[in-house]
Amino acid sequence: MTPDLAAEVLRELATAGLAPDPARFDYLAARLVLYGEREFRHLPSDVSAALRQRESAAVRMLGFGYVLTEFAAAPVTVPPDARVPALGALANLIVSLYDTELDAGAAPASIMSGGSVVARLVELYYSRLDILARAGGPLEVLLRRAIDRMYHAERSTGRGANSRAIWRRKSALPFVVMGLPVWFAHPAARTRSCHAHLAWLYRLGRFFGWIDDAADLEDDCTAGHLNYFAGAAPAGMASRIALEGARILAAWQAGTTPDRYVGVLRETFLQAAWAWLSAPGTATLLNE
């Protein structure tokens, strides 16, 4: 194993010019919590009541999903329709809660049982998606297929399955699910652009999958959880992660027009990766 992989990745990110501005950390953290609290208030009362004991974590899951969906949507439209990051926030909450319960040993069927909080959140997600998509045709079919594959990848890890294909789907598809709905609010876009954005979202998710696994390597190996780097990280992996982060950001910047809001989103991306890696075993922007 490589227990100091997170530190190596941080060094490589800094070398690649991907270190966030420390002076903006408090602002970005407050912005994340602000959006998370707002989205928590928008949950149905029975769902928020069921999450009351985990409200702090739920707020951060919602806030993290909101601000990263803003980042993911920016190459398509700035700022996005507010319903898009709100839907991304809900998707991230569902994935995070499902993951947490699966890691705690819950059976997938019980997590998704009719009366569970996750099942109620999924129902809420689809009701909001139906309003946004308005019979979205092939794009909605594509999104629902991505959701289905993501769910099956999560279930597979719960059954002890371990393969790179499952890892890629588990890591990348949540970001596809968060970012793709921006096209429902941008119907005039060309199909070619949509496909390019879809491929970029997949790369973005894979990048954060690497970041997450580098941060959680030791804990995942101890618990027997799926981790890309289990056994040993390939030689030069830290520099490969930093290079991919630089390419993802360069492609993002090529599709956006610099202004204050875009600058905030750029820092959000950097701060998310940095904070995740700075506290191995804990995604600091998700939970405290």
Question: In the block, which residue shows the tokens 């059954």?
Answer: 159
Look up the domain containing 96 and give its range: 5-278
75: in domain:
yes
200: in domain:
yes
pLDDT of residue 253: 96
Out of 164-173, 192-201, 271-280, least confident range: 271-280
Reported as a single tens digit per residue, the pLDDT across 24-68 is: 999 999 999 999 999 999 999 999 999 999 999 999 999 999 999
166: in domain:
yes
118: in domain:
yes
Long-range contact pairs involving 143-146 (C-beta distance under 8 Å, separation at least 24): 143/176, 143/177, 143/180, 143/181, 146/173, 146/176, 146/177, 146/180
Structure tokens at 162: 């371990």
283: in domain:
no
Instruction: Kindly tell me if the per-residue pLDDT of 165 is higher than 90.
Output: no
Percent over 90 (pLDDT), the chain: 68
177: in domain:
yes
Report residue 14's pLDDT band, with 50, 70 and 90 as the boundaries: very high
Helix (H) or strand (E) holding 273: helix 260-278
pLDDT of residue 91: 98
285: in domain:
no
Report residue 288's pLDDT band, with 50, 70 and 90 as the boundaries: very low
33: in domain:
yes
**Domain total in the chain:** 1
Average pLDDT of every residue of the chain: 89
